[in-house]
Chain A
Amino acid sequence: MLPSTVLLLLFLTYPLGLGTWLGFTDAKIGRAGHFVGLDNFIFLYGDAVARLSLFNTLFYTIVASSIKFALGLWLAILLNQNIPLKSFIRAVVLLPFIVPTALSAIAFWWIYDAQFSVVSWALMKMGWIHSYIDFLGDPWMARMSTIIANIWRGVPFVAICLLAGLQTIPPSLYEAAAIDGARPGQQFWYVTLPLLTPIIAVVMTFSVLFTFTDFQLIYVLTRGGPLNATHLMATLSFQRAIPGGSLGEGAALATAMIPFLLAAILFSYFGLQRRAWQQGGSDK
């Protein structure tokens, strides 16, 4: 008991507490801060770039997580069927997740490059477009491009976890459903989905947390540009705190992410995990 308490305090509570505390001070790098109350948060609220980063983060998280969930579930169901070379394909699917983010981000950086993009090059050769696509130079294009890169990286995690969930569902339930005359769509809706919900809750909580706090992908691809259109709270927090030297402000920005993360966790915990019908009752 004691060792684990010490570990928790040392490596979890202390850094988190320190980070939160810094958010309420005007600490600069190399200078201890003084308590300034909510100044940093008021400052950030009035800062257009910080507000833009909040919007970017929410947009990035919601769009990327929804698509990751849809694609992941679809992929999991496909992989759950009897297909040739099943285990090989399952291993291949995991690849994007295994490659270090910094590495795959560099690959995407080349794919999206304004002058050397292989996508633009191929489309040009086929005569479909007449000038290179400005993947990262236009605010909305840049947002979508970074989201696509994030999805590519995140789908395998969702798919493999959901696949594991699918395999715990006893085949006898499907047989029973089939005997009762349930069509495949109904089987999915009344058997698969309810039994998969706890796994979905956990997986999507993780997925949302990872996406919300994404850093490497943005840092390599755009540094938050163009015109701060892809700055997430995590990247802006780093930019302000470390290269910018405003530790307090950066910490406040990072702290401001916590309520959103807590909300995501609580939503999945209460919304998805405690359904009465999972215990055999009925939802009221």
Chain B
Amino acid sequence: MSNIDRRNFLKMSAGLAAGAATGDVLAAAKKEAAAVPALHLKPEKGAKLRVLRWKQFVQGDGDLWLANTKKFTQKTGIEVRLDAEGWEDVRPKAAVAANIGSGPDIIISTFEDAHQYPDKLVDVSDVCNYLGAKYGGWYDAAKAYGIDKGKWVAVPMGCAGNAVVYRESQVKAAGFSSFPTDTDGFLKLMQALKAKGTPGGFALGNATGDGNCWCHSLLWAFGGKLVDTKNNVAINSPETIKALEYAKELYKTFIPGTLSWLDPNNNKAFLSGDISLTYNGISVYYAAKNSTDPKLKAMAEDIQHAHFPVGPVGHPTELHLFFPMMIFKYSKYPNAAKEYLRFMMEKEQYEPWQQAANGYVTQPLKAYESNPIWTVDPKNTPYRDAMKIMIPNGYAGTMGYASAAAMADFIVVNMVAEAASGSKTPKEAAERAEQRAQRYYKV
């Protein structure tokens, strides 16, 4: 990760977000795809693979991943046993596998896992360079998560993009004809929604996914960050205080009870009609759209998505749940494992899978931006850009033990929750976060 220049990364993501260069990238991708020679990996004789992945949030994802895996077995004769577990259980299992040196050959885990034990992972540079050359290149965030000291240690699967999920009719009723794109406008919208009796709400409990994603996005939107580029703790800053003061105002507009919300709460509250707006993956829309309940079907019509508002820093600052696919060195069949990951990431498998998942996973490869899933239903479009504009974990420092530990300990989420609920002043909350973060970053 250390070899990625953060400043360039930000410039690029901001530039791309502005909509520049997309067409060029796609055209270039097409040209290159024709020219890239096939990658000949030689799977070991009699290879058998065990794959552990997170359990799908939308049914289509699990179904098609399995179908693609079966297709792989038919083509290559390599048996694959696919296990799926709740996404929060995969990280500990991967950690144990890394620690004891035995377990599934491939683990599809979350966030910066590959940076926690890079020396336990098989170098997958050949697969990643091949895929990157063939499919228009990797987004910078994908490189940040996948590359350690110049080597690819994980094949990026993509990320579960988050977006603001809202009820169009209720936002209109609150006096907004279009969705605000900046934090000021967003606060006004939330206040108007609250005044109309249709409040929104974001998770503020120890919610590993939703809580971390929106709290980091908010902190970064105001220029606050846990650490600077040299991994020095920099959370106690005027920018952080501004973000926390904003959070305090925002919290006043929330539905009661968000301090106790874990990951599933906002989905339930939104689908039951209790809230008009939240921050979530496309799974809420998927659930409503594919429901047999006419009430939910009607709600799906009314659901819209938007990007997280841009703050004073002037560029998107979204954090999304990223999925690295890691091959462990203890695997007896590293080439077969590489071949499996290559196969799953090829267009013939990847695009139908994204479609079946209704866009739940956003691609890490630029060429898949043209996947029709993103345009067939305009409501899917905001999720298309998740990997393009996202800022990776550990910003603005590097990813590793400290960044993983700091996030697992909910330092930023707790800080936002403390300040938002008024149990601490923004200054106190920032100081406490500083103390907690220093312990992990002292090394």
Binding site for B on A (CB under 8 A): 28-31, 43, 47-49, 112-116, 131-132, 134-139, 142, 222-228, 239-240, 242-247
- Among B282-290, B303-311, B413-421, the stretch that binds chain A is B413-421
B residues near A135, Cβ cutoff 8 Å: 260
**Contact A227:B421 (CB < 8 A) given known A114-B265, A222-B206:** yes
| CB nearest neighbor in B for A244 | B408
Q: A35 to B272, alpha carbons, bound, how many Å?
A: 53
Asked if B176 lies at the interface with its beta carbon under 8 angstroms from chain A, I say no
Residue pair A245, B116 in contact (C-beta under 8 Å):
yes
Q: Which 6 A-B pairs have the closest CB atoms?
A: A114-B257, A30-B117, A136-B260, A244-B408, A223-B206, A137-B260
Q: Which of B259, B269, B418 interacts with A115 by CB under 8 Å? A: B269
B residues near A116, Cβ cutoff 8 Å: 268, 272
DSSP class of B's interface residues: helix, strand, loop or mixed?
helix
Asked if B349 lies at the interface with its beta carbon under 8 angstroms from chain A, I say no
Q: Which of B53-93 contact A (CB under 8 A)?
A: 88, 91-92
**Contact A115:B274 (CB < 8 A) given known A29-B95, A29-B99, A30-B120:** yes
Residue pair A225, B95 in contact (C-beta under 8 Å):
no
A residues near B208, Cβ cutoff 8 Å: 223, 243
| CB nearest neighbor in A for B101 | A30
Q: A28 to B432, alpha carbons, bound, how many Å?
A: 24
A115-B265, A228-B206 given; name 6 further pairs at CB < 8 Å.
A114-B258, A114-B260, A114-B265, A134-B256, A242-B91, A242-B96
Q: A242 to B120, alpha carbons, bound, how many Å?
A: 17
Q: A29 to B93, alpha carbons, bound, how many Å?
A: 11
Residue pair A227, B423 in contact (C-beta under 8 Å):
yes
A residues near B435, Cβ cutoff 8 Å: 48
**Contact A31:B117 (CB < 8 A) given known A114-B265, A228-B414, A243-B208:** yes
**Contact A226:B256 (CB < 8 A) given known A114-B265, A243-B88:** no
Residue pair B409, A240 in contact (C-beta under 8 Å):
yes
**Contact A137:B92 (CB < 8 A) given known A245-B116, A245-B408:** no
Asked if B295 lies at the interface with its beta carbon under 8 angstroms from chain A, I say no
A residues near B265, Cβ cutoff 8 Å: 113-115
Residue pair B260, A243 in contact (C-beta under 8 Å):
no
Q: A134 to B99, alpha carbons, bound, how many Å?
A: 41
**Contact A30:B439 (CB < 8 A) given known A49-B409, A240-B409:** no
Q: A131 to B255, alpha carbons, bound, how many Å?
A: 11
Residue pair A115, B257 in contact (C-beta under 8 Å):
yes
Residue pair A138, B259 in contact (C-beta under 8 Å):
yes
Residue pair A30, B436 in contact (C-beta under 8 Å):
no
Query: Chain B nearest CB: distance from A45 CB in Å?
Result: 12
Query: Chain B nearest CB: distance from A29 CB in Å?
Result: 4
Q: Which of A113, A139, A245 interacts with B404 by CB under 8 Å? A: A245
Query: Chain B nearest CB: distance from A77 CB in Å?
Result: 37
Residue pair A30, B98 in contact (C-beta under 8 Å):
yes
Residue pair A240, B405 in contact (C-beta under 8 Å):
yes
B residues near A47, Cβ cutoff 8 Å: 436, 439
Can you give 5 A-B contacts (C-beta < 8 A)?
A29-B116, A225-B262, A242-B92, A244-B404, A246-B401
Chain B CB within 10 Å — which of A136, A225, A239 has the most? A225
Q: Which of B182-228 contact A (CB under 8 A)?
A: 204-208
Q: A227 to B205, alpha carbons, bound, how many Å?
A: 7
| CB nearest neighbor in A for B262 | A223
A residues near B268, Cβ cutoff 8 Å: 113, 115-116
Residue pair B259, A29 in contact (C-beta under 8 Å):
no
Q: A37 to B435, alpha carbons, bound, how many Å?
A: 22
Query: Chain A nearest CB: distance from B271 CB in Å?
Result: 11
Q: A31 to B117, alpha carbons, bound, how many Å?
A: 7
Residue pair A134, B260 in contact (C-beta under 8 Å):
yes
Q: A136 to B259, alpha carbons, bound, how many Å?
A: 8
B residues near A43, Cβ cutoff 8 Å: 439
Q: A244 to B406, alpha carbons, bound, how many Å?
A: 7
B residues near A134, Cβ cutoff 8 Å: 256-257, 259-260
Asked if B261 lies at the interface with its beta carbon under 8 angstroms from chain A, I say yes
Query: Chain B nearest CB: distance from A266 CB in Å?
Result: 33
Q: A247 to B272, alpha carbons, bound, how many Å?
A: 40
| CB nearest neighbor in B for A110 | B268
**Contact A226:B116 (CB < 8 A) given known A30-B98, A114-B265, A115-B274:** no
